[in-house]
Structure 1
């Protein structure tokens, strides 16, 4: 459930919405431009719960229509069965229809790390550095987590439609994706001049506007995926609900939520996270904070589906556990009840390096299979 859909629901019920002009902080720190960056199980329990040249203007590859079939239909592209809805009864719609459409987006909005094969001059670390910078820009302009994750999804899907993009175009593509995402999600998105400013002269306003048209056409204007963070927020909300409570009203601990989203942020910066569906990625993150039975209940996913992602995520969990826990930050002009939804930045590149180190150690310590062993005489 996105933040904007929540606002629309409340308006439909004639709720009073306070409107006011949000002013930017005059003393806001400046996000460092990407060109200045190097381009190269602890358990928590929720309260009340058991435990980026040549740009080809082509439609997105592999996009189909949402299938309006019963919830038992098999999504053959990923071979994941749509289980009966775990959503509670909704006062504003049919929970079965909502669930089928949400899961159907996993088939419509395809993503894959195979896009790297189409761009020989792009390395996985370049994507990580770009996304880390976008996280920093998001915090500077107090953008919501959903805005960053929309930008990440637009970037990965756009790159899947292109061939041989030069690494010098990545920052332009990235900031344009954030520009589009801001207009989709934010009530008061940053001005075009502000986003051009944070690139420190690397991208100009007219370039961003031109790139915006290219990206929108390449994505065929499909701009409303269910992102990892939207799945995660839904799962946590369902796990925290009391009987007869409203699904749209947050009932989980903000402090716990920022801990969980820190792990998700770190994972999404890794190119290998694109091996998994967003709902599987979000549920696997939650498996490291809640009992599996609770995760299975709110996600409808079996352990056989979750285990590969949970195992892949283990070094990320160990790395996050070794450093200071994420803190809930206060932001000027952001209401206390919304501060956990603001995207925050940490030294994710350093954390990713630590994860890579742990993965290498694990590979070295893993003995070869019997067929790989050589006999010595």
Structure 2
């Protein structure tokens, strides 16, 4: 759910919400929390998350009766349609319908690292450098986190539609994606001249406008995905809600959210993050901050689905833990209760190199199995 849709929903009158209770937990079973976040205030647990009745599986031609939006009939897999919604009661819509449409976007807005095969002149590190630069630009112009993640999604999906792109065009594509995303998400987006200025003359305003049309047509004007950060924010919000709280009223600690988003930022720079759905990536991040049982409740994902992503994320978790706790930044003209939503930047490229080195070393520290040992003698 985007900020703009949230503001529209808030106009309606609040309805009673399923009662919940926050308790504190001291340890975890599936994944260890970050060492810097072991204090009690960062251990969020929710009891009593609403579990609406399970939708009944129907024949293919009757699928539209379950997923009422015809555009999703052929996009949502059968197991998704029967999945119960973990959302609490909503005053502005049906939890089941909202959940179906959110999960359905994972099928509609596809992303994959396979686009690298279509661009032989582009290396994975070039994407990492570009995303890191977009993070920095987002902080300079005090753009929201959702704006950056929209731009990242636009870029990756656009590259899937192209062939043999020159590496010299990556900056133009990236800044244009951020330009489009800012117009989608920001109330007062930066002007076109500001986006051209930040490229230091490499991209002219006319070039950005021309690329904007190319990207919009390639994406078929599908510009409203559920990003990884929007899933993460939803999960943390649901895990933090207490009695009679509203889903659209922030309940989570800002420092926990900032720490979780730094881990997500680091992961998204790696091309292999595109192997996972955004909701799986967000749930895996959250597994390192709250108990897995709570992650399962708020995400509706089983451990079998999350575990591969959690294992892949281990080097990134160690790297972030070594860097310590995130300090919230103050921004001019940004209210204190919204500063956690502003995208920030740090030395992500050095952190990414460290995480890659940890992953490389772990491959050699893993002992061989018994058959491999016997074969060497």
8 Å contact 1:46–1:252 — kept in the other structure?
no
Matches within 5 A, 1:9-28: 9-11=9-11
Could you list the per-position Cα deviations for residues 303-333 of structure 1 after superposition, in whole angstroms to 9, with x for gaps in the alignment? Answer: 0000000110011000000113211111000
Matches within 5 A, 1:1-377: 1-11=1-11, 41-42=33-34, 44=37, 49-50=44-45, 68=64, 70=66, 83-373=83-373, 375-376=375-376
d(CA) in 1 for partners of 2:138 and 2:180? 13
1:12 Cα deviation after fit: 5.4
Could you list the per-position Cα deviations for residues 138-190 of structure 1 after superposition, in whole angstroms to 9, with x for gaps in the alignment? Answer: 00000000000000000000000000000000000000000000000000000
CA RMSD of aligned residues (A): 2.2
8 Å contact 1:130–1:174 — kept in the other structure?
yes
1:46 Cα deviation after fit: 5.5
8 Å contact 1:82–1:100 — kept in the other structure?
no
d(CA) in 2 for partners of 1:178 and 1:85? 32
1:244 Cα deviation after fit: 1.9
1:367 Cα deviation after fit: 2.1
1:75 Cα deviation after fit: 6.9
8 Å contact 1:267–1:316 — kept in the other structure?
yes
SS state at 2:375 partner = coil
1:357 Cα deviation after fit: 0.5
1:286 Cα deviation after fit: 0.2
1:26 maps to none
Could you list the per-position Cα deviations for residues 36-73 of structure 1 after superposition, in whole angstroms to 9, with x for gaps in the alignment? Answer: xxxxx41536567239xxxxxxxxxxxxxxx85637x9
Could you list the per-position Cα deviations for residues 343-370 of structure 1 after superposition, in whole angstroms to 9, with x for gaps in the alignment? Answer: 0001100000000110111001112334
8 Å contact 1:74–1:82 — kept in the other structure?
no
Structure 1 segments unaligned to the other structure (5+ residues): 14-40, 52-66
1:162/1:78 CA distance change after superposition, 3 Å: farther
8 Å contact 1:149–1:229 — kept in the other structure?
yes
d(CA) in 2 for partners of 1:258 and 1:86? 24
Could you list the per-position Cα deviations for residues 225-275 of structure 1 after superposition, in whole angstroms to 9, with x for gaps in the alignment? Answer: 000000000000000001221100001101111001000000011100000
1:102/1:164 CA distance change after superposition, 3 Å: same
1:278/1:352 CA distance change after superposition, 3 Å: same
8 Å contact 1:257–1:340 — kept in the other structure?
yes
1:78/1:111 CA distance change after superposition, 3 Å: farther
SS state at 1:163 partner = coil
8 Å contact 2:10–2:248 — kept in the other structure?
no
- Between Structure 1 and Structure 2, the one with more helix by share is 2
1:362/1:187 CA distance change after superposition, 3 Å: same
d(CA) in 1 for partners of 2:255 and 2:180? 29
1:19 maps to none
8 Å contact 1:68–1:101 — kept in the other structure?
no
SS state at 1:345 partner = coil
Structure 2 segments unaligned to the other structure (5+ residues): 14-32, 47-62, 68-72
Q: Normalising by structure 1, what TM-score?
A: 0.84
The answer to which of 301-310 and 82-91 deviates more is 82-91
8 Å contact 1:135–1:345 — kept in the other structure?
yes
d(CA) in 2 for partners of 1:81 and 1:371? 43
1:81 Cα deviation after fit: 6.8
